[in-house]
């Protein structure tokens, strides 16, 4: 059931950010929607379930993007490890501010890795102004909406889980 | 006998009384009292009846209007949807006509494709098109539209391909300033603009000059429009101009493209 949920959400998010959002002017510089999902997986799901899925997700995104292969794989893996590390020191729970900051940190981290790749490609100083604008917009979006996405994922998964359990229980009773 | 007389007298008195009261314009005090006492109730009942009747009528009227409104709203939304579809068809028709006109000027085999997705990253500029290996696409093929060069195919699957746009920072197109034939390399900036590098300062480059492909990179045919010069920055210590190019293609509105399947290595502009 979890795998079904994870795959459905990822498919939805990937399609949303590659086909719909680029054509909506206020959202064309929105951050990577998979970052809150990775933070959610890191915070709420066991390693054996989430880690292979995160690696798979990075692989898919690397194939869809025009960036150097491995950029998303690297970002998602280290973001996952970073969030797991943070939870060893901070009790995140349902504290929205901390969640928002973690998502914003993840967005910043992804952008820094992309900028690192750009530096390797030899981009010019003129680009720095645009880069700063893009990073700022994305981080601000993440601060204000990151925790909402996480709450949505948690709620959706728990409701879906409860729904499946109910169906399973009814089927057993009837059987 | 007394009864008959009494009856006649009573009738006479009644007639006299009637004739006397019929000449009076104003009512006596008793009549006023009666009127004042009864009229408010009459008014109340009459108004209540009218109110109820009006509500009843309005209710049915409103029910009818609501039904009618629902039907009209449905018809309106259908009409708006139809209009929108016609408008979309009209726009697609115009774009496809442009593409066909452009295709007629190309002697190479081309494949028309539709853009179905964009790069998930804000830093890289690629699009996914709905044609792939099965349609004859291979890596490195140029992608164009009537406005100019779009980019080149960088990855191909069976039915889809990834196209790197010329605004991507990995992109480079060998180019010429159309007016002065000065050579340079157009590089993407990951924004809406490009740079024209390696144009020597001795060459004349002005704002508004059109930039075309030189054909020397072995990817893009010669003479295809790329963009126009929007800024020229001179550095004292540099031997090259710093030239900013605005592409003719609006990459935000890219929907249909042509993939050139066989690039001929000769002058694009001289062909029909």
**What confidence tens digit (pLDDT) does each residue in B8-18 have?**
888 888 888 77
Question: In the numeric block, which tokens belong to residue A8?
Answer: 């459905």
What pLDDT shows up at residue B271? Answer: 47
Specify whether the CB–CB gap between A32 and A108 falls below 8 A: no
Interchain pair A66, B189: CB under 8 A: no
Structure tokens at B212: 């075309």
Taking one residue from A and the other from B, the number of pairs with CB-CB distance under 8 angstroms is 71
* Among the partner residues B119, B189, B191, nearest to A66 by beta-carbon distance: B119
pLDDT tens sequence across A117-130 = 777 766 565 566 67
Which residues in chain A are closer than 8 Å to B190, comparing Cβ atoms? 118, 123, 127, 130
Q: Which two tokens stand for residue B215?
A: 């054909």
d(CA B130, CA B257) in angstroms, rounded, equals 10
ipTM comes to 0.78
CA closest to B126 among chain A residues:
A66
- Least CB-CB distance to A18: which of B118, B168, B189? B118
> Scanning the structure block, which residue is given the tokens 């740079």?
B195
pLDDT tens column, B22-46: 665 555 566 567 667 776 777 787 7
Produce one character per residue of B55-84: b if its CB has 16 or more CB atoms within 10 Å, e if not: eeeeeeeeeeeeeeeeeeeeeeeeeeeeee
Model pLDDT for residues A65-110, shown as the tens digit of each residue:
888 888 898 999 999 999 988 888 887 777 888 888 999 999 999 9
Q: Spell out the residues 6+ positions from residue A101 whose beta carbon is closer than 8 angstroms to its own.
A: A143
Work out the burial of residue B11: count CB atoms within 10 Å of its CB; fewer than 13 is exposed, 13-18 middle, 19 or more buried. exposed
Q: Work out the end-to-end distance of chain A between its first and last CA atoms, rounded to an integer number of angstroms.
A: 21
What percent of chain B clears pLDDT 70, i.e. is strictly above it?
88
Query: Which H or E run includes A10?
Result: helix A2-15
Chain B hits for A123, CB-CB cut-off 8 Å, are 169, 189-190
User: What pTM was computed for the model?
Assistant: 0.70
Q: Name residue, tokens 């995160």.
A: A54
Q: Is the pLDDT of residue A134 over 70?
A: yes
Nearest CA in chain A to B116: A19
Strand residue runs (E) in chain B:
110-118, 126-129, 142-145, 148-156, 161-165, 172-177, 183-188, 194-200, 210-213, 225-233, 240-247, 256-260
Alpha carbons A118 and A173: distance in angstroms, whole number: 60
Taking any CB pair shorter than 8 Å as contact, residues of chain B touching chain A are 116-126, 128, 154-155, 162, 164, 168-170, 189-191, 195, 252
Say what the pLDDT of residue B17 is: 74
């Amino acid at each position: 059931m979890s795998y079904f949920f994870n795959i459905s959400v990822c498919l939805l998010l990937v399609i949303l950010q590659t086909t719909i959002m680029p054509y909506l002017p206020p959202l064309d510089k929105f951050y990577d929607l998979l970052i809150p999902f990775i933070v959610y997986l890191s915070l709420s799901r066991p390693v054996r379930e989430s880690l292979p899925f995160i690696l798979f997700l990075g692989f898919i995104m690397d194939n869809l993007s025009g960036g150097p292969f491995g950029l998303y794989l690297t970002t998602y893996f280290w973001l996952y490890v970073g969030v797991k590390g943070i939870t060893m020191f901070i009790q995140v729970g349902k504290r929205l501010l901390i969640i928002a900051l973690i998502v914003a940190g993840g967005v910043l981290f992804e952008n820094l890795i992309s900028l690192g790749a750009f530096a390797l490609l030899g981009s010019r100083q003129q680009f720095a102004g645009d880069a700063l604008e893009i990073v700022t917009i994305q981080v601000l979006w993440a601060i204000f909406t990151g925790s909402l996405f996480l709450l949505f994922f948690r709620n959706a998964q728990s409701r879906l889980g409860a729904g499946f359990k109910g169906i399973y229980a009814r089927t057993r009773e009837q059987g | 006998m007394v009864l008959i007389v009494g009856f006649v007298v009573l009738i006479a008195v009644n007639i006299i009384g009637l004739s006397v009261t019929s000449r009076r314009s104003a009512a006596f005090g008793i009549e006023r009292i009666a009127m004042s006492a009864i009229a408010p109730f009459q008014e109340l009942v009459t108004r209540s009846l009218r109110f109820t009747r009006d509500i009843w009528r309005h209710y049915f009227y409103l029910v009818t209007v609501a039904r009618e409104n629902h039907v009209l709203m449905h018809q309106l939304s259908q009409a708006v949807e139809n209009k929108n579809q016609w408008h979309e068809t009209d726009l697609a028709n115009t774009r496809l006509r442009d593409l066909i006109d452009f295709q007629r000027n190309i002697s190479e085999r081309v494949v028309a494709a539709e853009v179905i997705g964009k790069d998930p990253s804000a830093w890289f500029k690629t699009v996914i098109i709905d044609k792939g290996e099965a349609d004859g696409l291979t890596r490195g093929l140029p992608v164009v539209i009537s406005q100019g060069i779009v980019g080149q195919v960088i990855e191909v699957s069976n039915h889809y391909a990834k196209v790197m746009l010329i605004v991507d920072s990995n992109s480079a197109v060998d180019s010429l300033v159309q007016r002065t034939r000065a050579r340079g390399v157009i590089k993407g900036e990951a924004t809406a603009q490009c740079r024209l590098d390696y144009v020597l300062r001795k060459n004349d480059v002005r704002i508004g000059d059109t930039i075309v492909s030189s054909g020397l990179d072995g990817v893009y045919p010669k003479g295809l429009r790329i963009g126009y010069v929007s800024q020229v920055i001179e550095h004292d210590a540099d031997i090259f101009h710093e030239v900013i190019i605005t592409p003719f293609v609006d990459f935000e509105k890219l929907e249909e493209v042509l993939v050139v399947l066989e690039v001929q290595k000769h002058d694009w502009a001289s062909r029909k």
